[in-house]
Structure 1
Amino acid sequence: MQPYCVFCNIVAGHEPGNIVYQDDEIIVIQNILRWFPIMLLAMTKKHTTQAELWANHIGHVGQVAAEIGRQLCPGGYRLVSNFGYDGMQSQEHGHVHILGGTFLGHYAG
């Protein structure tokens, strides 16, 4: 039995999700977090790890994420991926954050 994955359940229609975009392979949903006016998650519909996403699918996911960022955040946006515990990755299903809608400030450091 597969472990529970909220993103897989949204893709399957078993849980609610605000879908912004989808095609045969990719889905973009609104993040439940509201730290910025635009907080979206772009991912493959098929469950992949973050490493698999970047090794095999980032071209398509990145193209979709960049286009949605351009459309919704004309002043600029960020694409971010978190890897592992220290990188603050909270979901195993690989995804790219699309952040924008306001000045995002400087990087921490």
Structure 2
Amino acid sequence: MRALLFIVALVVMVSCGSQRMLQKTYIGKPLSAMEKELGEAKTVFNKKSGDVYIFEKVEMLKSTEISQHKLTLDPMVTPQVRKTSHYKVTVVDDVITKVELEEIYERNK
């Protein structure tokens, strides 16, 4: 019984991840679908397996107070960060065949 619950939990985690959702959304669709959402590609590589387009999306995440569920004189605050998302898209005959996501967080000074 425990093994079954473990397997079900593992399947749910794998199928609901951001990488999997990205693949479900874009694989099999034309490149223009990705360009509508993210704009023009920053870099394009030609490989044997297809053309690789790299899209970049930059977001500024504001600082926020961390709730400690008690009264404190010095609140804990997260720093403001810049989130950069790199989408690596493999395209064959103008159809998306593979999507990878890499996210980088940098503190603002």
Give the alignment's TM-score, normalised by structure 1. 0.33
- The answer to which structure, 1 or 2, has the higher relative contact order (CA under 8 A, 6+ apart) is 1
Give the alignment's TM-score, normalised by structure 2. 0.33
More strand by share: 2
